[in-house]
A and B are shown apart, each in its own frame.
Chain A
Amino acid sequence: MVCNADEGEPGTFKDRVVFTEVPDLLFEGMTVAGYAVGASEGIVYLRAEYEYLLPGLLEVLDRRRRLGLLGRNICGKEGFDFDVRIQMGAGSYVCGEESSLLESAEGRRGAPRTRPPFPVTRGYRNQPTALNNAETLCCAARILAKGADWFAAQGTRDSTGTKLLSVSGDCARPGTYEVEFGLSVNKLLALVGADEAAAVQVGGPSGTCVAPKDFGRKICYEDLSTGGSVMVFGPGRDMLEVVRDFTEFFAEESCGWCAPCRVGTEVLLRMLDEIRDGRGTQDHLYRMMQLGDTVKACSRCGLGQTAVNPFLTTLRNMRDIYTERLSAHEYVPRLDLKKAVAFSEELAGHRSEVKEE
């Protein structure tokens, strides 16, 4: 029974709240899940940056052992053995992907495994492994306490229950919010004090960038799916710069295993830079879309499959951020003559007679 507490998606900090405010709920959820699937070993894979939470969590685990809530014969129930240990993460974004997390937890390079087999068949040390997010396990504990009907009565038909959202960015009241699934972006923005929002990134960089015309959309699996990250961008933000930064993040975090993600994210970044510098053309957008589609379709894991989302979703929802920066010319050379001859001019002691176009 593994709890994914890697929480690496930029803009997500909801698990931190779980660990600081209701750690017992999480461990209870893990224990319940362990009982359900017949696991005796639980591992929390904790984000490296949360190392400062470790002493407190270890204390909670110790207390739960003393109370008979972990260990042998839990709550006096013969044969109900379950204990939890905490595995510190090693700091890579892709380790939030389940099979990379398992690789890392086993002490290897954090890179995805070939799937199938999936972790439920062969996971941690080749054992069948249930792997869930910290928030999911908290839900499990609450469902057992309050009943499935109570849980299902909240949210929407396809997304029952509540969702923890980590809201950050240009808003008056950033923080972690527990909301019912189905909440519209508009309502959320009112809640957090962001009436002026020009764009909202739902689900972190790998999610969807929502423009004001779509603020009526709902946060739930059947519409705007999110792991919890919600970033608000005010009217002063340069969204192309935001997309560029997100893309750079993914290029940086790509594990390098598969070609489309490794090369595709990097090439996309270069072309975004060309557009930013006014050297892009319509052809750029066309080719970048083809590139995005390929990286999305063919990459080996969720990182590559979503790494192009910042570009693809903004190209759909706010195309202006690109078109307004395109060159007026149909063709723009990659050669920057002035830069390209600078060294030779210095060496020769005279200027090139060939003019800039």
Chain B
Amino acid sequence: MKKFTFVLNGRDVEALEGQSILEAADGAGVYIPRLCYHKDLLPGGHCRVCSVKVNGKVANACTMPAADWMVVDTDTEELNEYRRLIIELLFVEGNHFCPICEKSGDCELQALAYKFGMTAPLWPTLSKNPPVDASHPDVFIDRNRCVLCGRCVRASRERDGKSVFGLEGRGIRTRIALDSLDGLGMTALGRNDAAATICPTGSLVLKRVGFTTPYGARAYDKAPIGSEIEKKEE
């Protein structure tokens, strides 16, 4: 594949043709905060946390292909303010009870909130309060914790060759739909499906395996999310 360089945070970095800004930045050891992106899936562009500045204009790093004419900034006060605000919005859209959540400590939404120093969400809460669906023997879906990143939707299609999940409804009533009206238990979702474990929050969780890692040893207890990408460069 053809290589080229573009300017990332003031220095020249290399990228491969076809790479998104986010992928190229990852390769260069520059972490761009992201939530809906997953390296094994096509990008969705849902969360907008990876918003960056391309030649002064805001662009979405996971869906925008890098190009040689680009001057990209990823870590400005303005951008981090946008990101912090979006994350705070996601907290009031759902009901995120971190203290009792299986995903706490390994949750990407929580980790981003830590990274941006959120103490508590202050926007008015939107109280959607959807019921939990625990009808599947091995997996449950709790839409209170869903950030509509669409990872399960994409993983089911792209990785599992199924279409267990989809998006339905519009606006604030958008929700993850299932391909069965009789609950998750009646879908083709399998315990070993990529879609079953790809959720960044505790919305889709494997049953009977929660709370196994002690506090202090979980993914984001000590080091902020993205440290693994930034380390690569050193």
Contact = CB atoms under 8 A, between A and B. Distances in A.
B167 interface: yes
Nearest to A116: B65
A258 B46 contact: yes
B81 interface: yes
Contacts of B123: 267, 271, 287, 291
B225 to A, nearest CB: 17
Interface stretch (B82-90, B133-141, B157-165, B216-224): B82-90
B172 A262 contact: yes
Contacts of A271: 123-124
B51 A297 contact: yes
Interface in A90-131: 92, 109, 114, 116
B172 A256 contact: yes
Chain A interface main SS type: helix
B74 interface: no
Interface residues of B, number: 33
B174 A294 contact: no
Contacts of A257: 45-46, 167, 174
A156 B160 CA distance: 57
Contact of A256 (B43, B60, B122, B174): B174
Nearest to A291: B85
B67 to A, nearest CB: 10
Contact of B48 (A92, A259, A290): A259
Contacts of A254: 170-172
A168 interface: no
A298 interface: yes
Contacts of A300: 45, 48, 60
23 contacts: A92-B170, A109-B167, A114-B45, A251-B171, A256-B167, A256-B169, A256-B171, A257-B45, A259-B89, A259-B90, A259-B93, A262-B93, A262-B171, A262-B174, A263-B93, A267-B123, A270-B124, A270-B126, A271-B124, A287-B123, A290-B81, A293-B82, A298-B60
Given A109-B167, A253-B170, A259-B86, 15 more contacts: A92-B170, A251-B171, A254-B172, A256-B171, A256-B172, A259-B147, A260-B86, A262-B171, A262-B174, A263-B172, A291-B89, A297-B51, A298-B48, A298-B60, A300-B45
Interface of B: 43, 45-49, 51, 58, 60, 63-65, 81-82, 85-86, 89-90, 92-93, 122-124, 126, 147-148, 167, 169-174
Interface of A: 92, 109, 114, 116, 251-260, 262-267, 270-271, 274, 287, 290-291, 293-294, 297-300, 334
Top 3 closest pairs, chain A to chain B, by CB = A256-B174, A254-B171, A263-B89
